[in-house]
Amino acid sequence: MTNDPVTNQYEMRDPLSQYPRPPFPKQPQPAPGLASRMDPKPDHGEDSYVGFGRLKGRRALITGADSGIGRAVAIAFAREGADVALNYLAVEESDAEEVVRLIEAAGQKAVVIPGDLKNEAFCQELVERAVDGLGGLDILVNNAGKQTAVDDIADITTEQFDDTMKTNIYAMFWITKAALPHMQAGSTIINTTSIQASQPSQNLLDYAMTKAAMANFTGGLAKQVAAKGIRVNAVAPGPYWTALQPSGGQPQESVMKFGEKVPLGRPGQPAEIAPLYVLLASQESSYMTGNVYASTGGTLY
Ligand code: NAD
Ligand code: MG
């Protein structure tokens, strides 16, 4: 086995040495953060994800698709044959452009729809523009998220609390509500929750509660739409090396040690979680609905 760069997601490797381990340099940047400014650069599967047509002809809307987990999912979906509509914030345009290039290089269509998900009218418009641009909608990935670490509840402002709720919960609700009328039997919804849903950190009170709400919503909605043949699941990442963390998601001291505490001793790279989304989006997971699938480096969800 080898420490060389990953050439495809099937190559047998030692997971301990497959990707960088802490310590990492401090690297503060303002939220929402850019993947291009991270050190080391995250692996979103740019050079390694190999697709096999598992999502051929599907049409997917992914929020937070410019960077991190959303980018890895967008690359994987495109290489599996799906067209992709991407949402992100306008300040993340440079990250998003890289993703568009990769989707197009895979021979698929990319529809860019930047905008702020804290706004209900925009969430509705996002779905309409995705449906128009893609010619329909088969897969929705509610992945955008806001995480701001604060040590003391006394210092969590109402503005932060409100923004976290809006970005993580309200947007998922608004987008899902708008998307369902466009979906048919076989369609799937995937929500990015977190290990924080079941194991909340002391400095992520507002964030962790939104992730618990997302897992709960996933279970209830799955029951509601089962009779329509639509499946709803959630993915729960542990520590993943994305712009969310150094841009205020963790204190810089924790960024330096990020992933150290999990059994595998390092953070996951976005490329390592994309296959879970592909599975949940594809017909392979036809009997899987209403559940949470975790990728945590060894911590029980
Ligand atoms: P990321 O910063 O790369 O992606 C998050 C994205 O959310 C941003 O790129 C941004 O486009 C989007 N976003 C934030 N606020 C928005 C707003 N108001 N309007 C529109 N878009 C907005 O980081 P990531 O870690 O890939 O995050 C993706 C998801 O994974 C999030 O839901 C996050 O909570 C979840 N998650 C991440 C980790 C981790 O360790 N990185 C762990 C568990 C869960
Ligand atoms: Mg981003």
33 within domain boundaries: no
Q: Write the pLDDT tens digit of every residue in 127-141.
A: 999 999 999 999 999
CATH number of the domain residue 246 falls in: 3.40.50.720
129 within domain boundaries: yes
> Quick one: three-class SS letters along the chain?
CCCCCCCCCCCCCCCCCCCCCCCCCCCCCCCCCCHHHCCCCCCCCCCCCCCCCCCCCCEEEEECCCCHHHHHHHHHHHHCCCEEEEECCHHHHHHHHHHHHHHHHCCCCEEECCCCCCCHHHHHHHHHHHHHHHCCCCEEEECCCCCCCCCCHHHCCHHHHHHHHHHHHHHHHHHHHHHHHHCCCCCEEEEECCHHHCCCCCCCHHHHHHHHHHHHHHHHHHHHHHHHCCEEEEEEECCECCCCHHHHHCCHHHHHCCCCCCCCCCCECHHHCHHHHHHHHCHHHCCCCCCEEEECCCCCC
CB proximity list for 89: less than 8 A, separation 6 or greater: 32, 66, 114, 115, 116
9 within domain boundaries: no
pLDDT of residue 2: 60
29 within domain boundaries: no
Q: Letter for the amino acid at 81?
A: G
Task: Report d(CA 175, CA 178) in Å as an integer.
Answer: 5
213 within domain boundaries: yes
Task: Report d(CA 5, CA 268) in Å as an integer.
Answer: 15
Give residue 286's domain range: 59-295
Q: How many domains does the chain have?
A: 1
244 lines ligand 1 (CB under 6 A): yes
32 lines ligand 1 (CB under 6 A): yes
68 lines ligand 1 (CB under 6 A): yes
259 within domain boundaries: yes
pLDDT of residue 202: 98
As residues whose CB is below 5 A from the ion ligand 2, the structure lists: 32, 66-67, 92
Choose one of 94, 162, 235, 244 to mutate for the ligand 1 pocket test, by most ligand atoms within 8 angstroms of C-beta: 244
Our answer to whether residue 207 is catalytic in this structure is: yes
pLDDT of residue 4: 85
Provide the whole-model pTM: 0.99
20 within domain boundaries: no
- Tell me the pLDDT of the chain (301 aa) as tens digits: 567 899 999 999 999 999 999 999 999 999 999 999 999 999 999 999 999 999 999 999 999 999 999 999 999 999 999 999 999 999 999 999 999 999 999 999 999 999 999 999 999 999 999 999 999 999 999 999 999 999 999 999 999 999 999 999 999 999 999 999 999 999 999 999 999 999 999 999 999 999 999 999 999 999 999 999 999 999 999 999 999 999 999 999 999 999 999 999 999 999 999 999 999 999 999 999 999 999 999 999 9
Which ligand 1 atom is the nearest neighbour of the CA of 247? 2
Which residue among 49, 88, 207, 277 is the active-site one? 207
272 lines ligand 1 (CB under 6 A): no
254 lines ligand 1 (CB under 6 A): no
211 within domain boundaries: yes
